[in-house]
Amino acid sequence: MKKTTLIFITLTTCLFSCNTDSKKEQKISQINLQVDFVDFYKEFYTADHKTIKPLKKKYPYLFPTNIDDKEWFEKINGTEGKILLAKTDSVYNNLSKEKDAIIKLFQHIKYYNNRFSPPKTFFLINDLDYEHSIVYSDSLLFISLDMYLGKDSEVYESFPQYLASNYTKEHIIVDISEKIIEQKFQIKRGRGFLESMIFYGKIIYLKQLFLPETEENILLKIEKNKLNWSQNNESEIWKYFITNNLLFSTDNSLNKRFIDEAPFSKFYMEGDSESPGKIGRWIGYKIIQSYAKNNKTSLEDLLLLDAQSILQRSKYKPSK
In this model, does residue 110 exceed pLDDT 70? yes
- pLDDT tier at 1 (50, 70, 90 boundaries)? very low
* pLDDT, tens digit (0-9, with 9 covering 90-100), for 30-55: 999 999 999 999 999 999 999 999 99
Quote the pTM value.
0.91
Q: How far apart are CA 79 and CA 228, in angstroms?
A: 41
267 sits in which H/E element: none
* pLDDT, tens digit (0-9, with 9 covering 90-100), for 69-98: 999 999 999 999 999 999 999 999 889 999
**pLDDT given at position 12:** 58
- What is the rounded average pLDDT of the residues 293-306? 95
Determine what percent of the chain is predicted with pLDDT higher than 90.
Answer: 89
- pLDDT tier at 22 (50, 70, 90 boundaries)? confident
Assign 3-state DSSP to the chain and report helix, strand, coil percentages, each to 5: 60, 5, 35
- What is the rounded average pLDDT of the residues 131-153? 96
**pLDDT given at position 189:** 86
**pLDDT given at position 11:** 57
Question: Could you say which DSSP state residue 154 is in?
Answer: G
**pLDDT given at position 190:** 87
In this model, does residue 294 exceed pLDDT 70? yes
Q: What phi-psi label fits residue 268: left (phi over 0), alpha (psi between -120 and 50 degrees) or beta? A: left
- What is the rounded average pLDDT of the residues 180-184? 94
In this model, does residue 221 exceed pLDDT 60? yes
**pLDDT given at position 27:** 94
User: Are the C-beta atoms of residues 309 and 196 closer than 8 Å to each other?
Assistant: no
In this model, does residue 169 exceed pLDDT 70? yes
Q: Which residues contact 75 (CB under 8 A, 6 or more apart)?
A: 81
**pLDDT given at position 93:** 82
Q: How far apart are CA 67 and CA 74, in angstroms?
A: 11
Mean pLDDT taken over the chain: 93
